[in-house]
Amino acid sequence: MAGEHPGSTPPLLAYRVIGRPLQRYDVLDKVQGTTRYAGDWQLPGMLTGRILRSIYPSARILRIDVSRARALPGVAAVLTADDVPANALHEDATGFNLAPFATPILAVNRVCYQGEPVALVAAESEAAARAAVEAIEVHYEPLDAVVNVETALRPDAPRVHAERENLLIHWKLRTGSVEQSLRQADIVIERTYRTQRVDHAYLEPEAGVAWVDADGVVNVRSATQVIEHFRTLAEMLCLPHNRVRVIAPFLGGGFGGKEDMTVEPHVALLAWKTRRPVRMVWSRQESLLARPKRHPFVMRYKTGAARDGRLLAQEITVLADAGPYPLLSPRVLFAALVAGAGPYRIPNVSVDAMAVFTNNVPASAMRGFGAMQVTFAYESQMDLVAEQLHMSPLEVRARNFLQKGDRLPTGEKVETAVALPALARHALDALGERSCPTTRTARVGRGFACNLQPYGRTVWFRDHASAWIGFETDGSLVLRSGVTDLGGGQAASLAQIAAEILGVSLERVVVHFGDSALTPLAGGTFATRQLYMSGNAVLKAAQELRALMAPVGAALLEAGPADVQFADDYVSVIGSPQRKVALAQVVVECGHRGIPTAHLSVFRGEQAPPVDLETGQGKTFPDYTFGCHATEVEVDTETGIVKLLKYVACHDVGRAINPQSVEGQIQGGAVMGIGQALMEDIVLEGGNNLSTLFASYLIPTALDVPDIRAVAVESGEGKGPFGARGIGEPPTGPPPAAIASAIQDAVGVRLYELPMTPERVLQGLAGTGPPEG
């Protein structure tokens, strides 16, 4: 069953607010330093919360002694697993009970990764909290740690969880006859690709404040992407769902890292136990140590093609290191399964996508969500096919690009435009003239890569989002949405949509967002779903509200309801703009006539039953966003340093609601992908994290990247409001493959492992490695 499609929208030319680079109201506050982030919140009598974390990746807890800590001055609470009313998050990220798991909130008898929370402290000051954490005595018996994802699957491998095998999830996709097609192919390219563990590195570390209010409701105001965690928190505290409230203020970045809970269970527990407000802010070092990361992938690709460049078959195996708890790994691997073959028409495909338990730091959601890592592999494979067939990389891709109406390997049809030929042309053209090397030892090269990224939740989660819009009697507008705003302009774009439809000037719209008690739930901000889901919910609510109020405005103007328009804070007669009445007056008149001036709508996304588990066949995601990035690099053959000279990122965004925000998403996402391509790496040794400083975990600075030229193509086809597509995640995918291709073009070295550090480039130049399939 397909999802909803809101009613027809005005033609593009009629838009007054949509598609314009309008100032974002939140940016106005942010430049003045007045935005109150989660860690900026202060309440009277507030305590400081801290976590005692495991020092071992794998150990038995023999004994925890908190008596000394509890006796220290200024300590209000010291909690261990015994103090948690229901110490288990019952998770099943597959949505149909394929991988159920009970994840402890505080470790019970056993720690499974370095940094796992063992005990909590609330104290009068930061210093007292630190002292209390240090005074807790934990006696451990270290155990062997499972740290290698490939050996973890051997039958004799030690288990991360005694009661359960190390294979967390194994998704399968089968279409056509891969083996036979590979035998018949003119060429077969087989390679192994490795991507590394990456941190979100949002500038705002995890933070939140909890308090119990006068009605006995536990309030948590935290940096979260998902206010719906209130239910999980209530279950942890053995309270009815309606006794916990989660508020998400503007976030200092999320990128998937604030999709699972962070401080929420800890501050909620401490506030519940002490009956006092508790604030917890994780240090950067804690965040780097223990927050879930992007999954490292090991990807085996076998691609068969015909002499003319047609792709015949692809056999893919993806192994991902999940760490010890499932979190969102099953869903990440499902995205890898669906996107694994890339934006190409391939008749015979098999994919095995597996997540494996280890004692490494957990992995979960991060921008790109499994569809990002596979881009490095499938695009490198395309280059290799081209090379072997002596064709240009563009020619091979062009011969195989998906088109609207084609079927993905899952059997589902591509329902919207695929502008890849145009995207590739734009991206490559924008590189302009080839640069000359700046030194004698430097070589210049170019590369590009294409991708597809789903937007919206997997269809069997039957996604929906609500929005409420109401007029005040002065004609100003209130919008309530449970959306969380990570910094991408989620709230501001909803204001733009409502302003467009209801003819209210943008500065007369106020958005209340991200409060599970006061705003209708919209689902979290993840999976590039909010413009699609909440954008459509707001569009629907606004259209329905306009339909309710239009007859009243028309009556005041002595015109037919179809003959009036809402614009510039007035209702006016189309074609006779001087015949107008202020929206405020229409609102008052609606009151007199008993016509509602507020309206709640629910938008339902694409809905379908789960895929076939043996073949992966079925509808998976609502839709996809396509892109092509092109880059020019300079490689220093003496140092191995790769410098980006030019970078173009081109995506079909369907329709840009706010072109500046769209370009900002593309630029920022590309740089995140560039960081993964060239420098970022959470290094673990035996499960011990060696990258717990911002001085050792390097993300791109302004000097590491060139200007990012963002090109937003508007096909007008997308399933979001006004034909928009999601653009939050898609730009992270292409950079590693595009840069790998450019390095190959410059110095003839192809790298199969990220990050592409100077060391790896030099090894390649010297012919001493790096290893390949």
d(CA 209, CA 264): 8
**Maximum distance among all alpha carbons in the chain?**
84
Nearer to another protein, 168 or 674 (CB): 674
- Cβ proximity to another protein: between 305 and 497 the closer is 497
- CB of residue 648 to another protein, shortest distance in Å: 12
Half-sphere exposure of 18 (CA within 13 A, CB side): 29
Would you say 32 or 768 has its CB closer to another protein? 32
First to last CA, the chain: 42
Name the phi and psi angles at 233, rounded to 5: -65, -40
Instruction: Enumerate the β-bridge partners of residue 356.
Output: 167, 321
Question: Minimum distance from CB of 421 to another protein (Å)?
Answer: 26
Phi-psi category of residue 432: left, alpha or beta, with phi > 0 → left and psi -120 to 50 → alpha: left
Nearer of residues 358 and 490 to another protein, judged by Cβ: 490
The DSSP bridge pattern shows strands 477-481 and 464-471 to be antiparallel
Give the residue with the Cβ less far from another protein, 293 or 760. Answer: 293
Q: Smallest distance, Å, CB 17 to another protein?
A: 10
Among residues 627, 658, 654, the alpha carbon closest in space to that of 719 is found at: 654
CB contact at 8 A, 744 and 765: no
- Write down how long the chain is: 773
- Report the alpha-carbon distance of residue 680 to residue 374 in Å, rounded: 17
Least distance to another protein from the beta carbon of 34, Å? 7
Contact in structure between 724 and 715 (CB atoms under 8 Å): no
In whole angstroms, the minimum distance from the beta carbon of 724 to another protein comes to 17
CB of 20 to another protein, least distance (A): 6
For residue 315, the cross-strand partners are: 302, 350
For residue 680, which phi and psi values (nearest 5 degrees)?
Answer: -75, 140
235 versus 704: smaller Cβ distance to another protein: 704
Nearest distance from C-beta of residue 201 to another protein, angstroms: 5
Query: In the complex with another protein, which residue's Cβ is closer, 456 or 487?
Result: 487
Classify each residue of 667-701 as buried b or exposed e, where b means 16 or more C-beta atoms within 10 Å of its C-beta: bbbbbbbbbbbbbbbbebeebbbebbeeeebbbbe
| Residue 689 CA: distances (Å) to CA of 342, 356, 751 | 33, 19, 25
DSSP secondary structure string for all residues of 533-562 = IIIHHHHHHHHHHHHHHHHHHHHHTTS-GG
Closest approach, Cβ 639 to another protein, in A, equals 19
What's the closest the beta carbon of residue 538 comes to another protein, in angstroms? 20
For residues 394 and 705, which CB has a smaller minimum distance to another protein in the complex? Answer: 705
Q: List residues binding another protein (CB under 8 A).
A: 20-24, 26-37, 39-40, 42, 200-205, 250-253, 255, 281, 283-285, 486-489, 660-661, 663-664, 667-672, 693-695, 699-703, 705, 707-708, 710
Nearer residue to another protein within complex by CB, 324 or 755: 755
> 31 or 436, CB closer to another protein?
31
Q: Give me 106's structure tokens.
A: 């505080």
Of 181 and 661, which CB lies nearer to another protein in the complex structure? 661
Query: Please, what is the minimum distance in Å from the beta carbon of residue 251 to another protein?
Result: 6
Q: Is 344 within 8 Å of 396 (Cβ atoms)?
A: no
Q: Report the alpha-carbon distance of residue 592 to residue 293 in Å, rounded.
A: 56
The closest of 612, 690, 14 to 337, measured between CA atoms, is 612
Residue owning tokens 């563990």 = 197
Contact 514, 484 (CB under 8 A): yes
User: Cβ of residue 708: shortest distance to another protein, in angstroms?
Assistant: 5
Nearer to another protein, 442 or 670 (CB): 670
Q: Which residues of 242-272 are buried (b: 16+ CB within 10 A; e: fewer)?
A: ebbbbbbbbbbbbbbbbbbbbbbbbbbbbbb
Q: Which two tokens stand for residue 147?
A: 């740290």
Residues 370, 575: Cα–Cα separation, whole Å: 52
Q: In angstroms, what is the minimal distance from the CB of 252 to another protein? A: 3
